[in-house]
Amino acid sequence: MSKPRILVLEADAAANQSIRAVLEAAGYSVSQAFDRPVAWQALDAGPLHFALLDMSEPQLGELDLAQALARTQTPYVVMSMHKDPTLIQRAAEIGAMGYFLKPLDVHVIVPSIRAWVARATELQQLGQAQRSLKEAVRSNRSIGTAVGMIMERHRLTPERAFETLRRQARNERVSILHLSERIIDGLAELLPSLVKTS
C-alpha cells in the first residue's frame, strides 16, 4: 500500500525541510513546494491526502490552490506567521481544516494530520461506493429496460431476452450496458438470427 501523500507549500527552505523530515518519519510521502507554481504541479501530479499551505502573505494564487484542494475534498491547513482574524476567517470560508501559527511544532500536529487524512480517506471511499452504487443502478435500469423491449418486440421470456442481448453484445464486442443503451436510444436492432436461435 502506498504512503499517504502530503503537499507542503512553504517558501522557507529550512522550515520546509524540517516539516518534510517529521512527516516522512511519521510515514508520509511529502511533495515539497517552495512556491505556488510547484504546488500546482504537485496537485496535478496525482491525488493528495493532505496539504499544509503557507499563507503568511496571501495572494490570489494561494486562494485558488486552496479552493482546488477543497473541490477535490483534500483536507488542508493554512499556516501563517501572523495571527490575522481576517485570514483565519477567509481560510475557514474556503475550506481549511485549521490554521496554524508559524513556526510550527510539527510533532505536535502530526496526530491531527493523521485524523484528517483518515477522515478524508473515509469520505473518498464513501464517495467511490456511492458512485459505484449509482452506476450499478443505472446499469441495471438500462439492461432491464432493454430486456423488456426485446421481450415485447420478439415475444421472448425474460431469460431468453437477456440471453439474446448477451449474445449480441458478445458478437459486437461491446458491453451489455452499451448495447442496452443503444437499443433504448433506437440506435441498435437485434439481429433476427440471434432471436431465432435464442
Across 47-61, average pLDDT = 76
Q: What is the 3-state secondary structure (H, E, C) of 70-135?
A: HHCCCCEEEEECCCCHHHHHHHHHCCCCEEEECCCCHHHHHHHHHHHHHHHHHHHHHHHHHHHHHH
- Give residue 198's pLDDT: 46
- Give residue 61's pLDDT: 55
pTM of the model: 0.61
Q: How far is CA 196 from CA 39, 166, 192, 193, in A?
A: 62, 14, 6, 5
Domains and CATH numbers, the chain: 5-104 (3.40.50.2300), 132-197 (1.10.10)
56-100 per-position pLDDT tens digit: 665 545 678 888 888 888 888 888 887 777 777 877 788 888 888
